[in-house]
Amino acid sequence: MASHPYPSSLEAATREHNLPSLDGLRAVAVFLVVFYHSGLPVNGGLGVLMFFVISGFLITWLLLQEEKRWGDISLKLFYIRRTLRIFPAFYVFWLLVVVGFVVLGKRVHVGQAAASFFYVTNYYQALLGDPDTALSHTWSLAIEEQFYLLWPLAFLLLGNARRRMHALMIVIPLVWVYRIVSVLWFHVWQGYVYEALDMRADHLLVGCLLATVLHQKSAPRLWQLLGARPWTLWITVGGLALSSEAPHLLHHAWRYRDLVGFTIDPILTAILIVQAMTFSQISACWLNWGWMRLLGRMSYSIYLYQQVTLSPPRHLLKSAPLLVQLIAGIATCLAFSAASYYFVERPFQTLKERIGTRAKKQAVEVDPSAATS
C-alpha cells in the first residue's frame, strides 16, 4: 500500500458507487457539442475528446471493480450490458432518421447509413469523406463501440494491474508518435486523423490508465499535488480553454489540434476528472447539482439527437432574435433526448441490471496492491 495516501476527499470519492462529478463532466462535454452545433464559438471537438477520456476511465473502473469483487470479469455479461446500454437508443434514432428522410423525400446516403448501422462510420468517413448528414456524428459512437469490443479482451489478456499499467504507458506514447509521423511525414488527410480509431485510441487509453492508476493507489504524490488547492481545478479548465483557442491563432488550425492538442488535451481532461472528484464538495460542487447530473445521464441521447434537432427550430424562427433561436433549438433537442432517455434508455437499463448482473456467489475481494505483483 502506498505510504503517501491520496487526499481524503479523493479517497472518499473513489469509494462511492457512483463516482461524483462524472455525470456533470459528461453534461459539460455534450453541451460543448450542442453549443457548437448551435453556432456558438465553442470547441465541440473538445467535448467529443472529453467523452472519449471519460468513457475509457469509466469502463476500466467498472472492469476493475468487477475484478476486485469477483476475482475475474465476465466478457459475456460485459457485452450484454454494453449492448443493452447502447444499441436500443441508437437503433431507434437510426430508424427515425433513415425512415424520416425517406418519408420526407430527402436523400439518404446509403453507404453512410450502412456504415453507421454497423458502427464503422468513423472509417467510412475517414476514407471517403463526410457527406455532412444527420448520421455524420455517429463516427464518435463507432470509435467508442470499437473500443468496447477490443479493450475488455486486452484487459483480460494483460492479466494483472502492473502489466496493464506498463502496457498503457507504452502504447499511449506510441500512438502519439504514430499520429505525429502520419501527419508530418506521410501527410495523412486530417479527416482520417480526426475520425480513425487508430489515431484517437490514446484518448480512450488515457482514461484507462487513469482508472488503473487510481484503482491501484499509484502516484499518490501527484494526486496530493493536484488536489492540494481547490482553485487548481480552474487552472486545468483554463489550460483546456487555452488549448481550444490556440488553433485559431495559427494558419493551419488542424495542425495544432492533430500534433499538440490531441496529445495534451486528454491529459488535461484526466487531471480534470481527478480534480472534479477531489473537489466535488467545493469548487466542483456545481457538477453535482441535480440538474447537471440528470443532463449527464441523458448525455448519450442528447448527443444522438442534437445533430437533427438543433437546426429546424432555428430555420423556422430565422426572423426571431438569435437567443430565441438558440433556446428553441436546445429545448427541442432536450425534448427528443428526454423521450429517448425515459422511454428507451431507462427500460433497457432496468433490463441490463436484471440480466447483466453476475449470479450471486461468494465474492472474492482482491487487494489492489497485491494485484500488481
pLDDT digits (tens, 9 = 90+) for 7-50: 899 999 999 989 999 999 999 999 999 999 999 999 999 999 99
Residues 138, 120: Cα–Cα separation, whole Å: 9
Instruction: Report yes or no: 368 and 68 within 8 Å, Cβ to Cβ.
Output: yes
pLDDT at residue 1, as a whole number: 42
Instruction: Report yes or no: 84 and 77 within 8 Å, Cβ to Cβ.
Output: no
pLDDT at residue 2, as a whole number: 43
Instruction: Report yes or no: 179 and 193 within 8 Å, Cβ to Cβ.
Output: yes
Residues 181, 178: Cα–Cα separation, whole Å: 5
Q: Which three cell numbers stand for residue 112?
A: 453512410
pLDDT at residue 4, as a whole number: 53
pLDDT at residue 241, as a whole number: 95
Q: Which three cell numbers stand for residue 1?
A: 500500500
For the CA atoms of 164, 260, 45, 285, the dihedral, rounded to the nearest 10 degrees, stands at 70
Q: Which three cell numbers stand for residue 128?
A: 471517403
pLDDT at residue 40, as a whole number: 94
pLDDT at residue 372, as a whole number: 38
Who's near 165: CB < 8 A, 6+ residues apart? 209, 212, 213, 216, 218, 372
Spans in the chain with pLDDT lower than 50: 1-3, 362, 366-373
Residues 47, 53: Cα–Cα separation, whole Å: 10
Who's near 81: CB < 8 A, 6+ residues apart? 352, 356
